[in-house]
Amino acid sequence: MSQSIASAIVRAAELTARGEPRKAIELLQPALAADPLHGEAWCRLAAAYLDAGEPDPALAAAKRALVLNGDHAWAQRLTALALSELGRHTEAVVAARECVRRKPGDWRCQVVLAEILAATPQGLREAVEVAREATHLAPTEARAFQVLGDAALRARDWGMAERAYRTALRLDPGDDDVRANLATVRRMRGGAPIPPPSSEALHAAHVLVWPALSRLAAMLVAGGLLLLLAGMPTPTPLLGWFSGLLVVACLGVVGQLLLRARRVRRALFRLPRHRPKVAVVAILFTLSTVVLAGWTVALFLGATTMQPLTIAWLCALLGGAVVVLAGDR
């Protein structure tokens, strides 16, 4: 059983890192039902709940881990984060201080304490000092410098904030959140404009965008063709339900892309400026979807024309041709 829960922990960590905390939760729950005394598994479950935006069960799981054998500093850190998410700031500070007391040399404990202290004006000065200690403990961790920059930004220490964000970007060039915060600091200081997203961030965004565009091409071209055949010679309002489902499916693909591209979202929105083929395909598919949505509404209102559907399908066909011919180069 220990081997089974150990493999579940490793798999859950991989799922959480990929942005799928709900799957990690579903994996860990039955494993913990079979072995409820595994402290590390409770910590991993608490971390997954936090990533899923559910602080209440995260707090319960972290508290279970605190009374079991294992990494109590990790459990205390998760407890502090859950309490902070729940708005219980005073308790969160106590838990974060206890985490630091248990492992004063663990930079992650210092980072959590700095984040929680920085949530109130009274704790800003101490938050900066604690975050500086975290950077001394982990000079190669971008996260420590990001938290120092965040605390200094709230404290209006523009110089320290800019230095911290610059170091964080040097350690992790693909972090667009840090890049955006650095732009804010530079605007406050009246400095030069922020440079464009790094090539690494643009590449990461492109890797996510192109498969989504391929799925949209298949859906719009195949779905539009089926609608054209089904609507001849005269479409009926019943066909509007099928075209509406096609529009919703396309929006679902776009929504899934936005969720998966959280870390490179700024690069994602600026990608069309640097990748012309992406801009062309995105414009054609957007036009196709908008026309298709308008035609769907018109069908429900009693229209019997097929011209908008033809226009939508031709736009999708052109965009699909670009996708096929250009590939993912």
Cβ(310)–Cβ(231) below 8 Å: no
- List, in sequence order, the alpha helices (H) in the chain: 2-17, 21-34, 39-51, 55-66, 72-85, 89-102, 107-117, 124-137, 142-154, 158-171, 176-189, 199-231, 237-260, 265-274, 276-300, 307-326
Residues 6+ apart with CB under 8 A from 209: 257, 261, 268, 271, 278
Closest CA to 285 of 309, 319, 308: 319
pLDDT, position 35: 83
pLDDT, position 3: 47
Model pLDDT for residues 172-210, shown as the tens digit of each residue? 888 888 988 888 888 877 654 555 666 777 788 888 888
pTM over 0.75: no
Cβ(251)–Cβ(244) below 8 Å: no
Q: Specify the amino acid at residue 242.
A: F
C-alpha distances in Å from residue 297, one per residue of 110, 231, 261, 289? 55, 15, 31, 12
Model pLDDT for residues 220-258, shown as the tens digit of each residue? 999 989 998 888 888 888 888 999 999 999 999 999 888
pLDDT, position 5: 81
181/268 Cα distance (integer angstroms):
17
Taken in order of first residue, the domains within the chain and their CATH numbers are: 5-189 (1.25.40.10), 199-326 (no CATH)
Cβ(47)–Cβ(63) below 8 Å: no
Q: Both tokens of residue 256? A: 């899934």
pLDDT, position 164: 93
The list of the chain residues with pLDDT below 70 reads 1-3, 190-198, 263, 327-329
